[in-house]
Amino acid sequence: IQLLSGENMVWLCGGSMEVLPCSRVAHIERKKKPYNNNIGFYTKRNALRVAEVWMDDYKSHVYIAWNLPLENPGIDIGDVSERKALRKSLKCRNFQWYLDHVYPEMRRYNNTIAYGELRNNKAKDVCLDQGPQENHTAILYPCHGWGPQLARYTKEGFLHLGALGTTTLLPDTRCLVDNMKSRFPQLLDCDKVKSSLHKRWNFLQNGAILNKGTGRCLEVENRGMSGIDLILRSCTGQRWTIKNFINLAS
């Protein structure tokens, strides 16, 4: 870990953390930080090291949140064998224990089988995007790979869009829905969609995205000089690709 000590998972190794309102302990930051220009890199590197050493079957959550592939993420995290050996020698608990006893409200995303930007073969410079939250309608937007374009396809066939939620106490990312009434896909709270099939999609890499309830496909429609629309219609053979797939057998 560089810069910050985010690796100190005291809960797993017999310790605990307490909130002490009257504590006189403080963290005084330096006026000038030598790493300001690279803080994003170090934050990701630290998070990946913590994931690999401590998070067991939940390490994919960090990769999904940062939209990085599980294999070859493009960030050298260094050798973590010494940290893993320390965890073993201290007989630290597993991450599942932490979720069961310390942080049960953490959202679980183990049902994810694919994630990242979704691109259509007819419009490769734009990605599926959650658009303005108040509109509840998915859109196409120039690809940037940040939270609004983080698509997540699950084993149940749900297609979520947006940055990951951290806790069950806050709203989760919404999912794509074909309500059959509109030619535009809706982004709604999955739990509030009455028809199960209208929020379930068939999707394979480099294939169509087809709604199981309506039989309509998610496609793009070129409006010429005025842009491109994201629509639902009878399938015409358009294909979609998503950035990352998870090998559930590993």
- Is residue 121 domain-shared with residue 227, that is, in the same domain? yes
Reference 212, options 149, 144, 169, 157; nearest CA is 157
The CA-atom distances, in angstroms, between 27 and each of 11, 30, 38 are: 21, 10, 21
Q: Return the residue matching tokens 């049902």.
A: 111
Residue 184: give its domain's CATH number.
2.80.10.50
Cβ count within 10 A of residue 202:
13
Contact yes or no for 52/78 (Cβ under 8 A) = no
Q: Give the pLDDT score at 248.
A: 64
- Is residue 174 domain-shared with residue 230, that is, in the same domain? yes
Print burial letters for 46-58: b (CB count within 10 Å at least 16), e (below 16).
Answer: bbbbbbebbbeeb
Q: Which residues contact 229 (CB under 8 A, 6 or more apart)?
A: 140, 184, 220, 221, 223
Q: Give the pLDDT score at 26.
A: 75
Q: Give the pLDDT score at 184.
A: 95
Q: Give the pLDDT score at 18.
A: 77
Q: Which domain-ending residue is among 79, 101, 123?
A: 101
Q: Return the residue matching tokens 């049960």.
A: 104
- Is residue 126 domain-shared with residue 228, that is, in the same domain? yes
Q: Which domain-ending residue is among 80, 101, 122?
A: 101
Distinct helix (H) and strand (E) counts, the chain: 4, 12
- Is residue 117 domain-shared with residue 236, that is, in the same domain? yes
Counted domains in the chain: 2
Q: Which domain-ending residue is among 101, 123, 143?
A: 101
Query: For residue 127, is it within any domain?
Result: yes
Contact yes or no for 208/217 (Cβ under 8 A) = yes
- Is residue 135 domain-shared with residue 236, that is, in the same domain? yes
Q: What pLDDT tens digit does each residue of the chain (250 aa) get?
A: 566 655 457 888 888 877 777 777 777 777 777 666 677 788 899 899 999 999 999 999 999 999 999 999 999 999 999 999 999 999 999 999 999 999 999 999 999 999 999 999 999 899 999 998 888 999 999 999 899 999 999 999 999 999 998 888 888 899 999 999 999 999 999 988 988 899 999 999 999 999 999 999 999 999 876 689 999 999 999 999 999 998 765 5
Query: For residue 128, is it within any domain?
Result: yes
For the record, the structure tokens of 79 come out as 């050798």
Domain that holds residue 60: 10-101
The CA-atom distances, in angstroms, between 206 and each of 72, 112, 121, 129, 209 are: 21, 18, 8, 18, 9
Regarding pTM above 0.85, the answer is yes
